[in-house]
Amino acid sequence: MDIALMNWTAIVVGTIAAFGLGMIWFSPMMFGKSWAAGSHNIQPPASPPIMAMVIQFVGTALLALVVGITETNQAIMTAVGAILAVTFVVAGMDLFSQKSGKATVIDAGYVVASGALMILAQGLI
C-alpha cells in the first residue's frame, strides 16, 4: 500500500461528513428521542461528553481510512464488508446492553449511513 496514492481529501471529507451525520442522526429532530428512550432513557449530559466525542471521531476516522485503503486497492467491497461487520458488532453490543430493538436499529443504521457517506466521498472526490 502506497499511502501517497490514497485520497486523503476524501478520507477527511468522509470522516467529517460521517461525524456530522451523527450529530444530526442522534439529534432530537431525527432519532435522538427514540434512541434515548430505547437506551435506558439516557438524559442529555450537563456538558458535552468530550471523551465520547473524541473516541467516536477517532473511530470514524479509522473507518474512513479503511474505506480509503480499500478504494486505493480497488477492493471497495472489502470496505462494504468492514462496514457491515461493524454494524453487526454494534447491534450485538446494543442487544447485550439491553437496548430496545428500535435503539439498536438506529445505532446500526447510523453505521451503514456513515459508511455509505465515506464510500460516496471516495467516489466523488
Digit-coded pLDDT (tens) for 37-93: 999 988 888 888 999 999 999 999 999 999 999 998 889 999 999 999 999 999 999
Positive or negative, the CA dihedral 83, 85, 88, 94 is negative
Residues 6 or more apart from 66 whose CB is under 8 A from it? 79, 82
What pLDDT score does 67 carry? 97
Model confidence at 116, in pLDDT bands (50, 70, 90)?
very high
In terms of pTM, does the model score above 0.85? yes
Above pLDDT 90, what percent of the chain? Answer: 87
- Look up cell 453505521; give the residue: 111
What pLDDT score does 58 carry? 98
CA–CA gap between residue 74 and residue 45 (Å, rounded) = 43
What pLDDT score does 119 carry? 97
What pLDDT score does 2 carry? 81
DSSP character at residue 98 = T
